[in-house]
Amino acid sequence: MQQIFLTAPGKQLYARLREAISDFDAHLRAAAGTEEDLTRLFAMGPRIAAAADEYIGRAE
């Protein structure tokens, strides 16, 4: 699994995953708790999950 970090695709996938999580965290911290804020946050879930699935799939 460590080898994926050494490849360009692995680094790109890791960067996308970190960006998605960072975006989610930033929105969560800034959210005022309105329904619109929560809807926007939950919409990010599939993006994070897809990046994680792709990353894990390549690591196996």
Has residue 56 been placed in a domain? yes
Has residue 54 been placed in a domain? yes
The 10s digit of each residue's pLDDT in 3-27 is 555 677 777 877 888 888 888 777 7
Helix, strand or coil for residue 33? coil
pLDDT greater at residue 41 or residue 20: 20
The pTM for the full model equals 0.49
* Range list of β-strands (E), the chain: none
- What the block records as the tokens of 24 is 């989610």
The 10s digit of each residue's pLDDT in 42-56 is 777 787 778 777 777
Has residue 18 been placed in a domain? no
Q: Give the distance from CA 23 to its chain's centroid.
A: 8
pLDDT greater at residue 29 or residue 46: 46
Residue 40: how many CB atoms within 10 A of its CB?
Answer: 13
Has residue 37 been placed in a domain? yes
